[in-house]
């Protein structure tokens, strides 16, 4: 099935409004917003509490503007350049940012909302856009915004593997697990929860399958201890698996898993600290 073309504004737009003519607490519907130089050269312009619905910003050069508490719904930003602007508490709903570019701009990536069609038909557009937002945030040393943009980038990248031209279901599933288990590579808490689940699961599986130097029946707390010792590869040796196929196989698998998982968790922590 061929993907539909990118969303457009079907209604005819004939009203061209200069950005300097917009009033606070107003609504701009079906307009092309003009950002030509000369409208706000004397001092930076601030737009407050304006709702833009199905407005055209495409191929405009938006520079040195401040938007506060504005809302953009079904607007077109195709090929738009946004330079040195500030968007405070602004919301973007189902806007088209195909080939849009921004730099040195204050903007919160969590305030963008897209319906499910963007995941199904045009994930590549949002992949590129959130990658742009990530670079912008990193350049501005806005770590929280960069982390939020990177998560959205990975989210749409996953659906690009599933619904894009080069479909790859394996990469989609791998990305899905990465997103949920590791929190897009930033989830230290996620990693701790999964680690705890692994330790408890191994302890339950090994109940009745381990022995100490003096006893063959160990309780759950002792198995948790054995699980932690095995996971950290300390290996004190006072508790060992019984010499049967099941117990030895589970222990060997858990040891390999603990080494791999430890490396992954270390990478997550380093990524969080570095970024």
Same domain, 78 and 152: no
Instruction: Give the C-alpha separation, 131 to 129, whole Å.
Output: 5
Same domain, 28 and 93: yes
Same domain, 210 and 242: yes
Which parts of 30-75 are beta strand (E)?
31-34, 45-48, 50-53, 61-63, 65-68, 71-73
**16 and 34 Cβ atoms separated by less than 8 Å:** yes
Strand order in the sheet with 81-83: 61-63, 81-83, 101-103
Does the pLDDT of residue 40 top 60, yes or no? no
3-state helix, strand, coil in the chain (%, to 5): 45, 20, 35
The lowest-confidence range among 39-43, 59-63, 246-250 is: 39-43
**Per residue in 210-230, pLDDT tens?**
888 777 778 899 999 999 999
Instruction: Give the C-alpha separation, 124 to 115, whole Å.
Output: 14
Does the pLDDT of residue 275 top 60, yes or no? no
Same domain, 157 and 76: no
Same domain, 22 and 102: yes
Same domain, 18 and 99: yes
Question: How would DSSP label each residue in 169-233?
Answer: HHHHHHHHHHHHHHGGGT-HHHHHHHHHHHHHHHHHHTTTSEEESS-S---HHHHHHHHHHHHTT
**Per residue in 46-73, pLDDT tens?**
999 999 999 999 999 999 999 999 999 9
Kindly list the distances between the CA atom of residue 27 and the CA atoms of 31, 46, 111, 206, 238, in Å, as whole numbers in the listed order: 10, 15, 19, 65, 74
Q: What's the rounded mean pLDDT across residues 94-109?
A: 96
Domain count, the chain: 3
Confidence of residue 42 (pLDDT cuts 50, 70, 90): low
Instruction: Give the C-alpha separation, 238 to 211, whole Å.
Output: 8
pLDDT given for residue 274 in this prediction: 62
Does the pLDDT of residue 38 top 60, yes or no? no
Domain boundary among 185, 202, 222: 185
Domain boundary among 152, 185, 218: 185
Cβ-Cβ contacts under 8 Å for 166 (sequence gap 6 or more) = none
Same domain, 259 and 194: yes
pLDDT given for residue 168 in this prediction: 73
Does the pLDDT of residue 7 top 60, yes or no? yes
**Domain carrying residue 35:** 1-107
Q: What's the rounded mean pLDDT across residues 244-262?
A: 89
Same domain, 19 and 80: yes
Confidence of residue 113 (pLDDT cuts 50, 70, 90): very high
Instruction: Give the C-alpha separation, 141 to 149, whole Å.
Output: 13
Which residue's entry shows tokens 């077109």? 76
Same domain, 38 and 102: yes
Indicate the average pLDDT of the chain: 87
Domain boundary among 107, 139, 164: 107
The lowest-confidence range among 13-17, 32-36, 182-186 is: 182-186
Same domain, 228 and 263: yes
**Per residue in 164-211, pLDDT tens?**
667 777 777 777 777 777 777 776 777 888 889 999 999 999 998 888
Same domain, 128 and 218: no
Does the pLDDT of residue 18 top 50, yes or no? yes
CATH number at residue 219: 1.10.287.70
């Amino acid at each position: 099935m061929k993907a539909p073309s990118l969303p457009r504004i079907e209604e005819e737009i004939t009203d061209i409004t200069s950005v300097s003519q917009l009033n606070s607490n107003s609504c701009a519907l079906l307009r092309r917003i003009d950002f030509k130089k000369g409208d706000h050269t004397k001092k930076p312009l601030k737009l407050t509490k304006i709702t833009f619905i199905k407005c055209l910003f495409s191929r405009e050069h938006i520079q040195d503007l401040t938007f506060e508490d504005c809302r953009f719904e079904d607007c077109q930003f195709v090929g738009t350049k946004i330079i040195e602007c500030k968007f405070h508490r602004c919301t973007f709903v189902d806007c088209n940012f195909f080939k849009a570019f921004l730099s040195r701009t204050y903007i919160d990536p969590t305030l963008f909302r897209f319906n499910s069609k963007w995941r199904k038909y045009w994930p590549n557009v949002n992949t590129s856009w959130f990658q742009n937002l990530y670079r912008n945030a990193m350049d501005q040393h806005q770590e929280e915004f960069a982390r939020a943009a990177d998560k959205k980038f990975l989210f749409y990248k996953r659906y690009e593997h599933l619904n894009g031209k080069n479909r790859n279901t394996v990469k989609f599933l791998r990305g899905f697990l990465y997103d949920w288990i590791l929190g897009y590579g930033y989830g230290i808490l996620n990693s701790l929860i999964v680690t705890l689940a692994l330790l408890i699961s191994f302890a339950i599986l090994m109940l009745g399958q381990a022995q100490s130097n003096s006893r063959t029946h160990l309780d759950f707390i002792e198995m948790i201890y054995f699980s932690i010792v095995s996971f950290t590869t300390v290996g004190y040796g006072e508790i060992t698996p019984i010499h049967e196929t099941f117990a030895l196989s589970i222990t060997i698998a858990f040891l390999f898993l603990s080494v791999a998982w430890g490396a992954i968790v270390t990478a997550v922590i380093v990524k969080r600290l570095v970024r």
